[in-house]
Chain A
Amino acid sequence: QKEVEQDPGPLSVPEGAIVSLNCTYSNSAFQYFMWYRQYSRKGPELLMYTYSSGNKEDGRFTAQVDKSSKYISLFIRDSQPSDSATYLCAMRSNAGGTSYGKLTFGQGTILTVHP
């Protein structure tokens, strides 16, 4: 079983739709949760960052973390064609030492928003 599971999609939605992207994980030590966005032929870039449980909102994007269920979500409101990309969840524990900063990624979900 993978430490982090993410539905690869692909997911296709009309412009203006609300998009929900999700990841589940098995390692209860994970404390820091991120969403990266990757456009075609580009490297991933950090989109959202959350520590522990709770919600975080940034414009049309909301990240949610439910540590009790080991489940994280990214919601995109009023989706736009420019949101078409691969979305990767990533997480890490609070372990120190040389492992500090090592992220575990999900498989990525391919999202297409069509006009």
Chain B
Amino acid sequence: DVKVTQSSRYLVKRTGEKVFLECVQDMDHENMFWYRQDPGLGLRLIYFSYDVKMKEKGDIPEGYSVSREKKERFSLILESASTNQTSMYLCASRKGGSTDTQYFGPGTRLTVL
């Protein structure tokens, strides 16, 4: 079974702090994604990576950056957290090619005070 793990289930940070969210997948997948999920807005893509050291902006990249130094790990960075970044953050991975199945982690509920 594919397993996608996220470093924390719940996180509370203060405005202005630098925040790191980490995601690890164990199936040698090429593609990895970071989404945020908000009530009434569904899942919105922040960034994705189609290979190591490669990244592409999603629909809402402002205020975020990412890092993918190893194939199995994809990090989301909030350089200076703000209250409007309070959300559920979901990581997903997908094998490159024609498959559309994205495997999701359990999510990190981030609260910025």
Q: Using a CB–CB distance below 8 Å, which chain B residues touch chain A?
A: 4, 31, 35, 39-45, 48, 50, 54, 56, 58, 90, 92, 94, 96, 100-107
Q: How many residues of A contact B (CB 8 A)?
A: 25
| Candidates B39, B42, B45; contact of A106 at CB < 8 Å | B42
Indicate if the CB atoms of A102 and B48 lie closer than 8 Å: yes
Q: Which residues of A contact B102 (CB under 8 A)?
A: 46, 101, 103
What DSSP secondary structure best describes chain B's contact surface?
A: strand
Indicate if the CB atoms of A107 and B90 lie closer than 8 Å: no
Indicate if the CB atoms of A98 and B50 lie closer than 8 Å: yes
What is the number of contacts between chain A and chain B, taking CB atoms within 8 Å? 59
Q: For window 1-44 of chain A, which residues contact chain B by CB distance below 8 Å?
A: 4, 6, 8, 32, 34, 41-44
Given contacts A45-B104, A46-B102, 9 further A-B contacts (CB under 8 A): A8-B40, A34-B100, A44-B43, A92-B100, A101-B94, A101-B96, A102-B45, A102-B48, A103-B102
| Candidates A4, A43, A88, A101; contact of B106 at CB < 8 Å | A43
Alpha-carbon gap, A32 to B102, bound state (A) = 13
Alpha-carbon gap, A10 to B106, bound state (A) = 22
Alpha-carbon gap, A103 to B106, bound state (A) = 19
